[in-house]
Amino acid sequence: MAQTLVYKILEPHIVEGEPKPGSPIGIRIDQTLTQDATGTTAFLLLEAMGIPHVRTEVSVSYVDHNTAQFGPENANDHLYLQTIAAKVGAYFSRPGNGICHQVHLERFGRPGRTLLGADSHTPTGGGIGMIAIGAGGLDVAVAMGGGPFHIACPKVIGVELRGQLKPWVTAKDIILRLLSVLSTRGNVGCMVEYFGPGVSSLPVPARATITNMGAELGVTCSVFPSDEATRQFLIAQGRGDQYVPLAADPGCRYDTIVKTLDPHADAATIANIERYCLSPSGKPARAVPTEGGRVRIEIGLVVLDLDELEPLAALTPSPDHIVSVAEHAGKKVNQVLIGSCTNSSYQDLMRCAAVLAGRTVHPDVELGIAPGSRQVLMMLADNGALAQMVRAGARILESACGPCIGQGFSPADHTISLRTFNRNFAGRSGTVGDCVYLVSPETAVAAALTGKITDPRTLPEACGIAYPDVAPPASFTIDDGMLSPPPPPAAARAVEIIHGPTIVKPPSGEPLADPLEGLVLIHAGDKITTDHIMPAGSLLKFRSNVPEYAKHVFQCFNKPGEPTFAQRALTAKAAGQAGFIVAGDSYGQGSSREHAALCPMYLGVRAVIAKAIERICQANLVNFGIWPLTFADPGDYDRVALGDVLRIEAVAAAVASATHVTVRNVTKGFDFSCTVLLSARQRPILAAGGLLPYTRNHAT
C-alpha cells in the first residue's frame, strides 16, 4: 500500500499502539532538545525521576532565550544546565552559539529521525526530513530517559507545491498563505506533508522556515522530503554521510480534513479554502451550509502555485491574520527586526546584506538584525556582509531569541514594527497595544530602507535594487567550539551539578479531590496563548522558581486596584477551594512552556474548561494534575461567569473511564456537560496527580 512520508518515518518508530489515524501511539524518540526557558524545569524533572543518563542518540541543552543576565537568575540557570548536561550525557550549546532550532538543523538534524523538543518550534526539523515535535519539558525528560512519546496517530494534510517562487517572494510567503487557508484552529492531531514539483526549488533553510511557522497552524509537525537539496545541505555541513532519500510513495492518499466555520467571522478563510483546496474527490473544495448557520468544508488536498504567490504579512494579533503587503504599502514603519528561528539563515541574511549594501537605513527606522547561529554570524563576518549591514545602520543583535520572546526591542506606542518572526500575539513584543506585522526578510529590509511598508517587488524600479539571488553555499563554516559534547562516563560521574539559590525544586501535582468543587478564577476569551497565561519578557528569568513565577499567572488580565489572578487563586486555595479556569476556543496556543500548567497548578487550579484546548497545552495540563475539559455545548461557555462555584461529582470514576462529565454550577443552579479529554494512557496519570507522581508510583 502506498505510504505518505509521515507514516514512512513514524511506523518504524512506533513502540506502542497501531498506526491508524486517531489511535493512541507511543513513538521512540531519537533526539531531544531543550532551551534554557524550558530546559531547567525539564532537567530538574529528569533528576526528580532518578534518571542518571540520557538514553537517546542525541540530546542537546541549548541556551538561547534568556541570554541577558540582569541579576543572578539567568547565569545560575546556565551554570545548572551546563553541569547537568555533562552529568547525564547531553551536549551543551553555550550562550552565543545560536538559536536551538537553527543550530540543531545545522549540526544534528538527520532525515528519517524523530526529534522531541521542549519548544513549540521544534518542528523546524521537518525541513530536513525529520518528524520533529514540540512538547512540554516533562515529556521531553521522559524521552531523554528512553521512554516513548505518546500522541494520537495523526491525520496527514497533503500540501502540493507547484511552480517556483518569483523574485522577492519567499518561503515565508508560502507558510503565511497556508495559514490564511488552514488558520490556527481546527488542526490538532494532524501533521502536514509537503510534496510536488515545487519542493525541489526550495533549499533546506527555506523549508525549515515553513515547518518552523507550521507550529502556528496547531498541527503536531510538518515534514518535507529528503532529496537532492537535503543531500547538498548535509554535504555543506560536513555531514553528507547522514543523508538518506525519503519521499512519499506515488499514489499515496492524504486524509480528509473537515472544517466547520462561521461564515461571517471566517469569511476570508472560507474564500481561501475554496481557492486553494481540493475536496477528497479532487474537485474544488466548497462550503456546505449546516444546521446552526455554520458551514462545513471537506479538504482533501491543499494546492499552492508558487509562481502565483505575492509578498504577504500577518497582522497583530494572530499569525493567521494574513494581508497583502501591496495593500498595506505606504504605512509608516518605525522598527524593523530581522532574525528569529524562522528567518535568520545564511541565505536570508545575505539577501538582506545585498539590499543594504551601499545604502543607509531610513532615518525614522530602527533596524535590528540577529543571525540565527554563530555559524551564520561568522560567515557574514568573513565575507564582509556583516560590515555592509553595520555601515547601513543596522544594529547587530546576539544570535539568540531576543525580541521574538519580548527580550528587548519593544516598539514605541502607536507605531508599526515589521518582524520576520513567527508570532505576533498582542503584547508579545512587550508593548501593550502593539502593531506587529510578520513578514519575510525581503519585505522587512525594503521597509528598513524606505521607512514605510513596501512591496519588495517594487524595489528594482523605485530604488534600482536588483533581486539578490543568493545560492546555497557549497560549504558552511564549521566550528563547534561552543558546542560542548558529553564527557566520557568516568568524567561525567565526577561532575558536580550546581543548583544555584534561585533554582527551586518544582512542585509535584496531587490527585483531584472527589467531589471536586472550585471557584471560577477567570472567564477568558478565545485564543488564549501561553503568553497570556505565563508572560515571558523580563519575567522569564523566574522560570526556575515556580512560587515566584506563579505570582504573574494571567498578569495581562489583572486590573489596577483589584486582586490579581494569583491572589484570588491563593485566597481560594487557603480556604480549601480548588480553582477553575474557563476559556473559549483554542486555549493554550503558542509556546510549549509547561509553566502555563505548572504555575496554575501551584496556585491550586485543578481544572480548565474551554471550548477547545491545544495539543501541547492539553498534555501539559494532564502532566501536572490539571483536568482538561471541553464544553459539550459551546453555548454553555456564556452561562458560566467569573466567581461562579462549580462542582463535579464522582471524579475518580469520570477520570477512570467517562467520556463526559456533568458539571454543576452551584452559584446559578444549573448543570452542563463537558467532554473528558483524556486518552487511555492519560487517565491513570491524571488520577495519580500528574506524570511525576505517576512515574514515581509506577517505579515502585
Question: What are the pLDDT digits (tens) for 18-65?
Answer: 999 999 999 999 999 999 988 998 999 899 888 899 999 999 999 999
Q: With contact defined as beta carbons under 8 Å apart, do 82 and 418 qualify?
A: no
**562 is a domain residue:** yes
pTM above 0.75, yes or no: yes
The gap from C-alpha 18 to its chain's centroid, in whole angstroms, comes to 27
pLDDT for residue 347 is more than 60: yes
Per-residue pLDDT averaged across 131-156, rounded? 95
Q: Are residues 547 and 436 in the same domain?
A: no
Q: Are residues 228 and 114 in the same domain?
A: yes
Name the pLDDT band for 206 (thresholds 50, 70, 90).
Answer: very high
pLDDT at site 66? 84
Share of the chain above pLDDT 70, in %: 100
Last residue of a domain, one of 436, 462, 488: 462
**283 is a domain residue:** no
Last residue of a domain, one of 420, 439, 462: 462
pLDDT at site 48? 86
Please report, for the domain that includes residue 652, its CATH number.
3.20.19.10
| Beta strand residue intervals within 485-640, DSSP E | 516-523, 578-583, 605-610, 627-631
Strand 645-648 vs strand 516-523: parallel, antiparallel, or unpaired? antiparallel
Measured at the CA of 112, the angle between CA 108 and CA 116, to 5 degrees, comes to: 60
DSSP string, 420-438: -SS---TTTTSSTT-EEEE
Q: Are residues 423 and 542 in the same domain?
A: no
Per-residue pLDDT averaged across 383-388, rounded? 98
**260 is a domain residue:** no
Please report, for the domain that includes residue 125, its CATH number.
3.30.499.10
Q: Are residues 35 and 172 in the same domain?
A: yes
Calpha distance 422→473 (Å, rounded): 25
**345 is a domain residue:** yes
Per-residue pLDDT averaged across 372-376, rounded? 98
Q: Are residues 246 and 335 in the same domain?
A: no
Q: With contact defined as beta carbons under 8 Å apart, do 389 and 509 qualify?
A: no
Per-residue pLDDT averaged across 123-133, rounded? 98
Return mean pLDDT, the chain: 95
Per-residue pLDDT averaged across 174-189, rounded? 95
Q: Which domain holds residue 222?
A: 5-255+300-307
**261 is a domain residue:** no
pLDDT at site 584? 96
Per-residue pLDDT averaged across 519-540, rounded? 92
pLDDT at site 545? 92
Calpha distance 264→267 (Å, rounded): 5
Per-residue pLDDT averaged across 115-138, rounded? 96
Name the pLDDT band for 699 (thresholds 50, 70, 90).
Answer: low
pLDDT for residue 397 is more than 50: yes
Q: Are residues 538 and 449 in the same domain?
A: no
pLDDT at site 505? 87
pLDDT for residue 443 is more than 70: yes
Domain count of the chain?
3
Per-residue pLDDT averaged across 216-220, rounded? 95
Quick one: which of 186, 281, 317 has its CA closest to 615? 186
Q: What share of the chain is helix, strand, coil (3-state, %, to 5)?
A: 35, 20, 45
**477 is a domain residue:** no
Q: Are residues 57 and 190 in the same domain?
A: yes
Q: Are residues 174 and 321 in the same domain?
A: no
Last residue of a domain, one of 427, 444, 462: 462
Write out the H or E segment, with its range, that includes residue 297: strand 295-299
Torsion of CA 607, 609, 613, 618, to 10 degrees: 10
Q: With contact defined as beta carbons under 8 Å apart, do 41 and 595 qualify?
A: yes
Per-residue pLDDT averaged across 191-198, rounded? 98
Q: Are residues 196 and 323 in the same domain?
A: no
Q: Are residues 62 and 205 in the same domain?
A: yes
Q: Are residues 529 and 427 in the same domain?
A: no
**289 is a domain residue:** no
CB within 8 A of 179, min separation 6: which ones?
213, 216, 217, 314, 319, 320, 322
Say which residue, 292 or 181, is predicted with more confidence.
181
Per-residue pLDDT averaged across 577-602, rounded? 94
Determine the residue type at 649: E
pLDDT at site 38? 87
Name the pLDDT band for 408 (thresholds 50, 70, 90).
Answer: confident
pLDDT for residue 700 is more than 80: no
pLDDT for residue 695 is more than 90: no
pLDDT at site 565? 97
pLDDT for residue 327 is more than 80: yes
**481 is a domain residue:** no
Summarize pLDDT for 472-491 with one digit per residue, the tens.
999 999 999 999 999 999 99
